[in-house]
A and B are shown apart, each in its own frame.
Chain A
Amino acid sequence: MDGRLTAGTGATDATRPGARSLHRFANPGRFLRATGRLMPFLWAAAVLVLGFGLVWGLVLSPADWQQGETVRIMYVHVPMAWLAMGGYTGLAVLSVMSLIWRHPLADLTARELSPVGAAATALCLATGSLWGKPMWGTWWVWDARLTSVLVLFFLWLGHAALVRAFDDAERGARAGAILALVGIVNVPIVKFSVDWWNTLHQPASVTRLNAPGMHVDILYPLLVCALGFSLLFGAVVLARTRAAVMERRVRALQLARARREDAVA
């Protein structure tokens, strides 16, 4: 547990209730035990909810009166867009935890999150292109929404590369955290780009507060798919973080063994 002194108060970080609960899971053994119990339920929930949502979206939901069957791409495209933005917001929160509390698990989770976030953003762009070609007649336009999502993709990739670019993992984590916090400014730009500029991309329809943007026959399967993909995203990130915690322990044990053998020799 981190017992760093808090300037001026004489209290330690670890004595504060928030910091105490935050640092409970800094213990790798405790983290692995707690998440080990959670993982089977998380995988099962992801598969069940996603399976149900995809069947609803692909088979049971009606075609759109204007877009026809192509509207079904929305059930994978929109969840990817939400995960790209929501995941990046999560990365920024982890970066704050890393920079302020030096939480070791926040560093590790951020490191494991960024490749998955980059994949979700790439999938958002790819499925958007596959949707755009039959609807707009083009795979790509440099409008504000598409361009800001492309910038988000480069931010994810930049984070993934930067945290792995240093021999000292802590320096890499700090550089990545700063990049993530600078890049968070792009998330509201992505969200509001369709309101601030004239774009080929349609304006917000699900999150519009003043009036429903789509019929419930399309909205409900979309929300179920979004929940399913969110559970899958969480399960993948948690599984990667668990693997990373174990790999770190393996490296420490191998180093200790090599030192023992050196001392004997």
Chain B
Amino acid sequence: MTLHWWHITASYALVLGTFGALAVGAALRHRAAKRLLATLDPRGERA
């Protein structure tokens, strides 16, 4: 792999990795909050 392709790979990995982490983080936060809400208020399950 040439140096140029290393730079391209690093760029794509950085962007996709960061956005992937943000998406997974948001999904985990959402799931945790939904589970807590369902425990505290069963009506929250409908949301």
Contacts and interface: CB of A to CB of B under 8 A. Distances in A.
B18 A119 contact: yes
A246 B15 contact: no
Contact of B14 (A68, A127, A250): A127
B11 A130 contact: yes
Interface string B1-12: 011110110111
B5 A69 contact: yes
Interface residues of A, number: 42
Contact of A240 (B26, B36, B37, B40): B26
Given A123-B18, A127-B15, A246 B5 contact: no
B30 to A, nearest CB: 4
B8 A33 contact: no
Given A76-B12, A239-B23, A249-B44, A130 B29 contact: no
B23 A232 contact: yes
Interface SS of chain A: helix
Contact of A243 (B12, B18, B33): B33
B7 A131 contact: yes
Interface string A223-265: 0000001001101100110110011011001100100000000
Contact of B30 (A58, A119, A243): A243
Given A69-B2, A123-B15, 12 more contacts: A33-B46, A33-B47, A43-B23, A58-B12, A68-B4, A69-B4, A134-B3, A134-B4, A235-B23, A243-B29, A246-B47, A250-B36
10 contacts: A36-B47, A69-B5, A73-B8, A123-B14, A127-B11, A127-B15, A236-B22, A240-B26, A247-B33, A254-B40
